[in-house]
């Protein structure tokens, strides 16, 4: 008696193929689209940087005004109700 695989067995090498699921919705729309990411230019970086810095300066100014000016503090307190 020989150990191992028998030579008499049927060799079934056919793979079971799963049916492809059709993509629906946004996935179907984007299936053939090619998206590329481009780095922002120097002008765009400067614009966004200026906006961020400007908003931070306004926030700091409002916090200082809130802490130092009682009328502004009361205004914020009353509007927040």
pLDDT at 19: 65
Per-residue pLDDT reduced to its tens digit, 17-30: 666 677 677 777 77
- CB-based contacts of 76, cutoff 8 Å, min separation 6: 66
Does residue 6 register a pLDDT over 70? no
pTM tops 0.75, yes or no: no
Does residue 76 register a pLDDT over 70? yes
Per-residue pLDDT reduced to its tens digit, 48-60: 999 999 999 999 9
* Rg for the chain, CA atoms, rounded: 34
- CB-based contacts of 48, cutoff 8 Å, min separation 6: 40
Per-residue pLDDT reduced to its tens digit, 35-52: 777 888 999 999 999 999
């Amino acid at each position: 008696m020989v150990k191992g695989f028998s030579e008499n067995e049927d060799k079934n090498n056919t793979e079971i193929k799963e049916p492809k699921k059709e993509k629906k919705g946004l996935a179907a729309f984007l299936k053939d689209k090619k998206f590329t990411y481009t780095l922002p230019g120097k002008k765009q970086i400067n614009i966004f940087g200026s906006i961020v810095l400007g908003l931070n300066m306004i926030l700091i100014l409002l916090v200082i005004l809130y802490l130092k000016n009682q009328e502004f503090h009361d205004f914020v307190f009353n509007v927040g109700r």
